[in-house]
Amino acid sequence: MSTLRVMLFDMVCAVNRAVPFVRWHQFAAQLLPPPPYTDRLMRWQGRGRLVVNLGNPRERELYVEGRYEPHVMSMLKQVTPAGGTVVDLGAHLGAHTTALSLHVGERGRVFAVEANPHVVERLRQNVASSPHYANIDVIPVGVSDQPGTLPFYYPSDRSEWSKGRLAAHAGEHNWLSVDVEVTTLDALMAARSYPHIDTIKCDVEGFDVAALRGAAETIARSRPAIVFEYVERLWRRAGFTLDDLREALPRYTFAYIPLWRHRTLIRPAPVAIRRVEDLPPAHRNRCELLARPEA
> pLDDT (tens digit, 9 = 90+) per residue, 139-192?
999 999 999 999 888 776 665 666 677 765 544 667 888 899 999 999 999 999
Give the pLDDT confidence score for residue 56 in this predicted structure: 83
Buried b (16+ CB within 10 A) or exposed e, 209-243: bbbbbbbbebbeebbbbbbbbbbeebbebbebebe
What's the CATH code of the domain at 273?
Answer: 3.40.50.150
Range of the domain at 184: 67-293
Residues 128 and 158 in one domain: yes
Of 153-162, 184-193, 204-213, 215-224, the range with the lowest mean pLDDT is 153-162
Mean pLDDT, residues 23-42? 76
Checking if the pLDDT of 260 tops 70, the result is no
Residues 52 and 99 in one domain: no
Residues 204 and 72 in one domain: yes
pLDDT tens for residues 47-87? 999 999 888 888 888 898 888 888 899 999 999 999 999 99
Domain ends where: 42, 63, 84?
Answer: 63
Checking if the pLDDT of 127 tops 60, the result is yes
- CA distance linking residue 256 with residue 229, whole number of Å: 10
Give the pLDDT confidence score for residue 152 in this predicted structure: 87
Which of the two residues, 192 and 286, has the higher pLDDT score? 192
Cis-peptide, bond into residue 36, ω within 30° of zero: yes
Residues 92 and 59 in one domain: no
Residues 35 and 115 in one domain: no
